[in-house]
Amino acid sequence: MQADIEEILVSAEAIKNRVRELGAAISRDYEGKNLLVVGILKGAIIFLADLVREIKIPLILDFMAVSSYGSSTRTSGAVRILKDLECPVEDKHLLIVEDIVDTGLTLKYLVDNLKARHPLSLKTCTILDKPSRRLVEVQLDYCGFTIPDYFVVGYGLDYAQQYRHLPDICVLKRDIYTNGQ
């Protein structure tokens, strides 16, 4: 798999330090509040696990699974909920945790959908922001790293369900995801 990697974009150590900072900021901001952390499956799971261990206040954890990519490297633009929340949101402060925000289409859909359920507040957190690909405006309240328009894998991010386990965020070699497409 290492042969498939062009370069390490964000090291495991840099990720660890930034997640610690994000956890501290979220802990301060939500002190004394009823926090529901919503992890977006599957890509955010590793970031989410690390992040909630750094949040030093009580929280409830729930998950949503959405699809906008299928097995492609480009979003279809149509977002579908594959798994919805189990917890009601009306009396809670929601924090959506995503792996990467690029076009913004998925996050905008999630924010609009969850706001319609009347939480007390709603904020967003992502480990990666790729603003050069943005198609719709979204607000990122907590962001780990802003990156250029590279196809990245590792730390939960995948290509064709591979590479999620890599500890660093890496640029995937172009020929890996363009062969056969």
Residues with a catalytic annotation lie at 102
The two structure tokens encoding residue 125? 């957190």
CA distance 124 to 45: 15
Contact 97, 38 (CB under 8 A): yes
Which of 123, 110, 93, 102 lies closest to 41 in space, CA to CA? 110
> Following DSSP, what letter does each residue of 130-178 receive, concatenated?
-GGG-SS----SEEEEE--S--EEBTTB-BTTBSTT-SSEEEEPHHHHH
23 contacts: CB under 8 Å, gap ≥ 6: 51, 52, 53, 54, 55, 56
Per-residue burial over 167-178, b if 16 or more Cβ lie within 10 Å, else e, is: ebbbbbeeebbe
Is residue 67 a contact partner of residue 91, using CB atoms and an 8 Å limit?
no
**Residue 167 contacts residue 5 (beta carbons within 8 Å):** no
